[in-house]
Amino acid sequence: MTRAEAQGFAVETVRQPDDGDWTSAVLESIERPARRRSALASISSVHWSDGGLIDVDKVGAALRRRGGAFLIDATHSAGVLTIDVKRLDPDFVIFPTYKWLLGPYGRAFLYVAKRHQGGIPLEQTASGRRNVRAENAVYFTDVSYVPDARRFDMGERDHFISMEMASIGMEMMAEWGAAAIVQRLAMLTERIAKACAASASASACRSLICGRRIY
């Protein structure tokens, strides 16, 4: 949003639909006849505020027809919903580990499709270069970037404590499997919904009793 004016593009925010159908709302924005081109759609596959699920297969297909790129913020779905990047072929997928992946704060992961791995990283790190090492006789032996997504790694990527925590959390989730996790969450959600419904019903009864006049 801060770069739009200088670089000549527009940012459109898709508003929360009244019917809760986020997929249709996003598709309508992408496929609007007056729109020349959707360069990039950046979405949360599960909306952070209302839990609305977006059909990433449909959105991805619509973007390909329009020649647009697809960035998926999987913060609220990674570890619960399966994302097959080979089949879906998104341009980018990002997610932290502190949500469903049972990992630490400060650790996140980025998937970059091969077609974008020649980009310029935000951070200019030694680890992102072909041969910049303290043990070299010439420190800046080869400053060209490594030929894959490692060039996008954050500085101090080898923070051993948080990396180990993130690794163990993801391994646990992978071992349990998405189906088992979804089943467990569905059971807990149903219990919460029933308790809330019972509480709301009891509150309504108390209001009726307190509001009665006795003659």
On whether residue 130 sits in a domain, the answer given is no
Query: Is residue 83 domain-resident?
Result: yes
**Has residue 180 got a pLDDT over 70?**
yes
Question: Same domain, yes or no, for 92 and 187?
Answer: no
How far is residue 190's CA from residue 213's CA, in Å, rounded to a whole number? 37
> Does 9 score more than 50 pLDDT?
yes
Cα–Cα distance for residue pair 14/25, rounded to 1 Å? 7
One domain for residues 68 and 165 = yes
Q: What is the CATH number of the domain that holds 81?
A: 3.40.640.10
72 and 171 within one domain: yes
16 and 97 both lie in a single domain: yes
Regarding whether 181 and 103 lie in a shared domain, the answer is: no
Structural domain boundaries, residue 207: 177-215
Q: Are residues 73 and 164 in the same domain?
A: yes
Question: Is residue 113 one of the residues assigned to a domain?
Answer: no
Structure letter (DSSP) for residue 205? H
Q: Looking at residue 204, what is its pLDDT?
A: 63
141 in a structural domain: no
CB atoms within 10 A of CB 127: 16
- Among 84-98, 143-157, 161-175, 191-205, the minimum mean pLDDT is found in 191-205
Task: Round to whole Å and give the CA distance between 59 and 136.
Answer: 48
Q: What percent of the chain has pLDDT over 70?
A: 92
Please, which residues have CB within 8 angstroms of residue 41's CB and are 6 or more apart in sequence? Answer: 26, 30, 59, 63, 68, 69, 70, 71
Burial class from Cβ neighbours inside 10 Å (0-12, 13-18, 19+) for residue 180 reads exposed
- Note the pLDDT tens digit of each residue in 34-57: 666 788 999 999 988 888 899 999
Q: Are residues 190 and 98 in the same domain?
A: no
Model pTM?
0.83
Q: Say yes or no to pLDDT of 206 above 80.
A: no
Number of domains in the chain: 2
CA-closest candidate to residue 119, choices 90, 148, 95: 148
Are residues 184 and 96 part of one domain?
no
Distance of alpha carbon 152 from the chain centroid: 17
Q: Is 38 contained in some domain?
A: yes
